[in-house]
Every structure is written in structure tokens, then in C-alpha cells.
Structure 1
């Protein structure tokens, strides 16, 4: 519509420099424009009235695009039953609360019951799926045949079409490809590695680093050959990540090299633990495995720093064989030795890298220092026991680990977390409780008053927050009940 372009140009230039000419307007508006021009001589007023007139003419005068031969098929009949009216009312309440965590919880129960939502909810869920990528698979499952059909009319909803992992890997967005690779590393690590190798040459350095970081999932001996081939990469970041991954595989040649050196480095004599590097270390050990020769800390000599780096990349079980002892005894012995005490953090990092649960428990029971990174390796009950025990000293770190869990916290841990978060109302606001409501047990609702801070100026804020938490918990409870009835 050329008229509308002229109106925009006039608005941009101003009525002092340009006015709308009669021949720039549709003939059907001539009479109305003449009345406007007679009713006022003010240029701005005339322009605004004519623009309003043209806008309404444009809105009611447009015809839909006509295309011959286009047919629209009906949506397939639903094979799954619809949710109960109570469940549907609950999800509507959740949508109003704007809690994506609660929505995910509801969708998970809906999918587990093999049910779908009624048609009127499908557009709203598909729209949310475009914004919340992690909910897309659940949205697809809960929207059923109607969702598959409706998605064909909106490109933004095309995630709901039945697309295979291979198709997404080949043609999907960077985020979709990343999600596919991550899931495949969990389900079929070998297949994920094969797909990665097939497209490796086409990727830029930044993407290669992202892909490699995902190989940390289920990393194993079969990945060694591919990772070693990356020594020829141009990007230093890519080579560094590949080395980091190789140092997490017990069968890796790098790990074996380190073990051979440490076998000669650590001895036990009458004076206890003795550590000294053998003379004439192979220079290739530094060139090919990424070891630094010089210490980056005043607390370590160069020799101690070299040993520290190797200890990080050796499975803790190696020390049981080398020292012919149990984890508990080794930890207690190292704490008594000045050098051994300095090397303890390296051993902790090895426990985390190789996900050794036995050594993680031994550290918690015998170490004089609390190592927060070990917490996720412990059985759930032990995680919670030590989290509560050290909450005062390491509250932020412990909460950070707790929110990474997908299961429900115990009442005791939740109470300990809430007592801390209630005192930091800006850091842990309503959004925090909304995001992690899936972890919060229903039973905490009767404990909220006990979590209130002692400071008067914080009590009122916690009272308001408690009301919000109660609303979320009630919705969570309602969700569970609506799918169990």
C-alpha cells in the first residue's frame, strides 16, 4: 500500500517539509479527506486525522492471500486420553503463576501417565516450548496429534514435528545439535563420537570446544583414539580440552605415563611418606601431556608442582596399590606430612575427575578440611548430612550443589537451606523458589514459620515470600493429586 509509505515518510520529515497530496490517497477516501481539510487548517491535526483514516481503511480493506490448490488436512485422531478436568485446571493455574519448574513437573507427570492436554491448551504450550528449549520434548508428548498438526502452520512450533535425532544433528540449530549430542553421549557414547567425527572438519574452533566438553559424559577407553588425534588441531583451546579429557580416562597413555613416574616418585620409609621426582625425566612428558615445569604458586616448589599436576590425573585407586593401604589410612597419613598435606587438593581433584565414590566418602570421614566438590559423589543421605553439617560455613556452595539435583530434598535439608536463604532476600528472591520448586518437598509448608529470620526488618519480607512458596507448594500438591485420582 503506497499510501501508507507516504504517511510514514511524512511523519519522518515533518508536516512543515511535506504534506500528503490528494493523489497519494485512495480515491475512496477523497470525500472524507476533503471534510478533514475543511474542518481544520492545522497541518499536524490534518495529518493525524488523515493517517487515522488511512489506518482504518487499510485494516478493513485488506484481503487474505489467495492461493489455488492449497488443502488443509484434519488433525489425526488422538490416541491418548485427555487429562482430567482437575489436571487441566491445575496447569492453567501453573501457567498463571509463570513457574517453568512447576510446569515441567506437571508435564512430566502428564507424560508419565501417557495423557495429553485438550486442544485449547496446545497453542499456549507450543509457544512456551519456543522459549523454554528444555521443555520441548515434554510439550510434544503432552500436545499429542493436535500439536503435531498445528505445528505445521507456524515455523516457530516446528520442534513439535516428529524429527529424529539424526535429522536434528544434520539440520538443526546449534542449540538443538548440542542437546542431541548431550543426550546421545548419555545413551550411546560410541554413536555420539561417530557423529562428531563425521562433521568435525566442518566445525569452527569454538564449536569444537563446546562439543568436546560434552564428551566428558560417559568418557571411556573407546574415546582415546579420537582425542589423541586432536593433537594436530590448530586451536590451542581444542588441544587443551582434548588433553583434559584424556587425563580423565584411566586407560589413557597419559595417565599410564604419570603412574609410571609417580611409582618412582612416592616411597614409604622410616620417616613416613617421601616424595622426590626421579632424575632425568623425559622431556616429551612436558611437551605432549601439557605439564608445566615451573610452579605458579609460592607455596610449591617446581618439583612439588609437577607432582601435583600428575596426581590430579591419576585414579585414586592407584595409591591403594602403590602404598598398599586403604583410602582412610592414606588420607590420614598424608595430612600428617607437610608435603602430603599440600598435595591433598590434587588427590581431591582426582577423586572428582574419576568420580570415585569410595574415596569421596573416605575424605568426608577422615579429612581435616571440608572439600565441597566431593559432595555430589556421595550417596544422597550422606550428601544431605554433610550439607547440613557445613551449611553455616559453605552455604552458597552447598545450595549451588543442591539446586543441581533433580530429586526432592529432605525436609531437614530444605529447612537448613530456607533458614539461610531467608536472610538473603535479594539473592534468593521469589524467582529462586519458583525455579527450584521441583526440589522442595510438600511437607515444608508447615515449617516455613520456623525458617523466619530473627531480624525484624527481614521478617515481613519472609512472610510475603512464605505465602508465595505456599502457593507454589499447593500447586505442586494439586498436580500430584490430579494425576493420582
Structure 2
């Protein structure tokens, strides 16, 4: 409505600079304009306000919509799954009132597992939540069924509920959708994922290339080497860095072999006599050759040490060891992992390189070497935890949590299964003492990991300080409420 824009412009400029005239209004308002403008009892500001008020009401009274015959509304497809029962839906409403996204995710997961749907009234609410929480979208899509898919066609913000094929999303999706598609495909068919990226490579910009390359870390293998090495002439440094990072994860890549070749030139085994010269022991020495191929420094190896107590040579060696598969040391010495580990640990000069070996063990996922490192009392190797069996990992974490509590809790926060009762007990002993760091948000975000058995023990974790004890008492009430909701979810879906 152009006439309304004219009124807005007049209001912005002021009646001293501009007046609304009859030609700027719609024909229906011309007679009213004449009555107002001819009223001598009103000043120019009052006349403008009268006209604006009348125009506003006219504008609000409704207009005839544009008729577009080509628009048709399809009928939603019939649902194939049953709706949830009243109890599960009531719990869902309580979770929505509580605004607990972790509990909502837990509820949605149970709904998907039990192959049920939410009632129609709640579909818009869930779709709107999905706008802001991407991790919930797959579950919301499944729980809203055919009606959710149909309804999303009327709101672009809900179109994540439209079940497009992976290839369609790869071709036409948003950057986040394309990354997710490549990530999922990389998990199931790494070769096909690489082929898709190869085909679209020339059309991607530098930022897109760098982000998409990160997804290739999943199931990275020797099959990726040729294509990745062919990209090393890319102009963007950001893209080059991602390519180099990926190549450093493949034990047989040219970069890794170049590092190992330099280390082999630096290794020397010597026989040293023990006390009185009656026996000798084998000692490992590592010293870089006088001349080093400068090309290694173009691959990310840094020349200068940032620590005063570590020389440039030691720093370079440390980096090379951290990027070299541990099994190559076994092959070089034709010995067991344990004996090679002893070569390093029994030598004061080489003991400093053990953390580098630990980093390499995690990088190349070597289970045999991981077992050796978890025996170290003074260090905590978080990158090695996924390589341990569940029982060994729990035992290791219980042993380390007192000295490295925050790091252990950070790792456990990303678990998919409930914490063991033993771990939960130790975690709560620490978190109860630090109520500002581990506040309500912490327990809310991790409620899916907290076992219900902890309810009986909450009181005994109360801090000795009166103020902190009061805070913990209030926190316990909140934790119990969350756990009870979680139990109700399981109970309702299992009926």
C-alpha cells in the first residue's frame, strides 16, 4: 500500500518539510481527507495525525488477497506409525516447560526407538525448536511423521523436516546440510564420499573446501592419498593446512614416510658398559643429521622451540615422533612394542619424547601401545581413551580423576552410555565442591548420562561449608527432578 509509505515518510520528515496531499492517498480516503484538511480548528500536525489514524484503520480493515490459481495445497499422506499415549505426551509437555533440551532429546530418542509419533498439536512446537537445535532435527523429523513433513512445506524455517535424499541435499542443501551429508556418507561409504567431493571440487570456494575436507577425517585411509596429494598446489593456505592435516593421519602417506626417513637417519643404538665394565646395556640415541631436507618445514614442522628448556633440535625430533606411527619403531628394531617403550623410558635423555609417542599412539589408533601408556602414573593421555576397552577405560579414569578431574569430566561428557555408578560417585564428589563451575546447566546437559542410583547418595556429597552445603541441597532437588523425569520417560514408553 503506497499511501501508507507516504504517511510514514511524512512522519519521518516532519510536517514542516512535507504534507500529505490527496494524490498520495487511495481514492477511498479522498473525501475524508477533504473534510479533515478544511477543518480550520486543527493545526497542520493535528490534521496529519487525524489522517494517519484514519488511514491506519483503513489499512487494518483488510484487503482482498491476490488470487493465484496455480497454488494448490496437497493433502498430507496418512501416518504409518501410532501416536504416543497420554502419559508420554504429558511428560513431553513437562519437559518443554522445563526447557531441558537434553531431556527432550532423550524423550525423542525413546519415541523413535519405539516407532511412535507425537500428536498434531505439538508438531509446530517441535519444528520450531528444531530451528535452533540442529542436533534434534533428525529425531524431530522422525517423531512428527508425515504431518510434520507436510506442515514444513508452509514454513521455510521448518524445511529440515522434508526428507530429501542425501544426493539432493548434497547438490542443493545449505553448507551445514552438505557437511552433514558428507560426514554420514563417509561413515558408510568413504569412497563414494570422496568421489562426490572430487566431482564438486572445482565449484567450491576456499571456505567450503576447508570445511568439507574436515569430514574426510572419518575413515581416512591410503585410498585417499593420491587425491589429497594432487591438491597440495591449492592457492588457499587454509585448504592446504587441512590437506596436510589429513595426510598426516595416513601412515603410508608421503609426508609420514618423509618424517620417518629423517628419524631413521637420526637413530643410533649404542652399547654402554655398566659399573666396573662387567656388563653392558643397549642405549638408544636420537640426533638429527647435520643436513636436513628443508621441505619438511613446509609441511608444518616448526623450526623454533617456544620453551627455553627445549632446544630447536629436540623440538623438531619431538614433532617428528608425534607424527610417526609407533609400529614403525617396532619394525625398525624388530622388537616388541613393550621393549621399544622401555628403550625410551629407561633413558633420561629420551624420556621427554614419551608424550610424543603417546600422541602418535592416539593419532594412529594403536591399541597395543595405548596399554603401555596408561601405566604411567604422572600423566593423563585422554586421546588414548577411545582405544581402551570399556572396563580398562573406567579403571583408568577412576585412577586419574582425582588429579585430572576437570579433564576426565570433559571426556565423560561426550559419552553415549550412562556413566558407571563408581564414576558417577567420584564425579559428584568433585562437582559438589565446585557449584559455580558445575551448576544447573551441567546436570541438565548431562542428565542422560547420570544413573538413577545416584539419588540415594546425593546427600553425602554435601560440602562442609555452610553456604556451599545450602547450594548443594537446592541442587539435589533439581537433580532429583531431572532424574525422575528421565525415569518417567522410560516407564511411559515401556508400557
> Which protein has greater RCO, CA pairs closer than 8 Å, 6+ apart?
1
**Aligned with 1:80: secondary structure?**
coil
Query: d(CA) in 2 for partners of 1:24 and 1:246?
Result: 68
Q: Does the Cα contact within 8 Å between 1:186 and 1:218 map onto a contact in 2?
A: yes
Query: d(CA) in 2 for partners of 1:33 and 1:315?
Result: 90
Q: Does the Cα contact within 8 Å between 2:107 and 2:489 map onto a contact in 1?
A: yes
Shift of 1:209: 2.0
The corresponding residue for 2:139 is 138
Question: Which TM-score applies when normalising by structure 2?
Answer: 0.87
Q: Equivalent of 1:382, from 382, 392, 409?
A: 392
Query: d(CA) in 2 for partners of 1:318 and 1:472?
Result: 50
Shift of 1:14: 4.4
Q: After alignment, is 129-138 or 171-180 more displaced?
A: 129-138
Q: Equivalent of 1:356, from 336, 351, 366?
A: 366
Query: d(CA) in 2 for partners of 1:8 and 1:421?
Result: 57
- How many residues are treated as equivalent by the alignment? 485
Shift of 1:86: 1.4
Q: Equivalent of 1:462, from 469, 472, 477?
A: 472
Within the alignment, does 1:344 sit opposite 2:351 as a pair?
Answer: no
**Aligned with 1:476: secondary structure?**
helix
Q: Does the Cα contact within 8 Å between 1:116 and 1:144 map onto a contact in 2?
A: yes
* 1:53-64 aligned within 5 A: 54-64=55-65
> Do the aligned partners of residues 254 and 23 (structure 1) sit closer, same or farther apart at CA in structure 2, a change above 3 Å counting?
closer
Gaps of 5+ in 1: none
* 1:118-197 aligned within 5 A: 118-197=119-198
Shift of 1:215: 1.5
> Do the aligned partners of residues 171 and 21 (structure 1) sit closer, same or farther apart at CA in structure 2, a change above 3 Å counting?
same
The corresponding residue for 1:91 is 92
Shift of 1:219: 0.8
Query: d(CA) in 2 for partners of 1:412 and 1:34?
Result: 85
Gaps of 5+ in 2: 273-281
User: CA RMSD, aligned part only?
Assistant: 3.1
Q: Does the Cα contact within 8 Å between 1:437 and 1:473 map onto a contact in 2?
A: yes
The corresponding residue for 2:9 is 9
Query: d(CA) in 2 for partners of 1:261 and 1:437?
Result: 50
Question: Which TM-score applies when normalising by structure 1?
Answer: 0.89
Deviations 1:263-301 (A, max 9, x none): 443344333432234646562652664444554443333
Query: d(CA) in 2 for partners of 1:302 and 1:340?
Result: 15
**Aligned with 1:339: secondary structure?**
coil
The corresponding residue for 2:277 is none
Q: After alignment, is 177-186 or 353-362 more displaced?
A: 353-362
Q: Higher helix share goes to which structure?
A: 1
Q: Does the Cα contact within 8 Å between 2:259 and 2:296 map onto a contact in 1?
A: no
* 1:159-238 aligned within 5 A: 159-238=160-239
Deviations 1:205-237 (A, max 9, x none): 222222222221111110111111122112233
**Aligned with 1:369: secondary structure?**
coil
**Aligned with 2:231: secondary structure?**
helix
Q: Equivalent of 1:422, from 432, 438, 457?
A: 432
Within the alignment, does 1:477 sit opposite 2:478 as a pair?
Answer: no
> Do the aligned partners of residues 373 and 6 (structure 1) sit closer, same or farther apart at CA in structure 2, a change above 3 Å counting?
same
Q: After alignment, is 167-176 or 127-136 more displaced?
A: 127-136
Deviations 1:172-220 (A, max 9, x none): 1111111111111111111111111111222222222222222211111
Q: Equivalent of 1:308, from 314, 318, 321?
A: 318
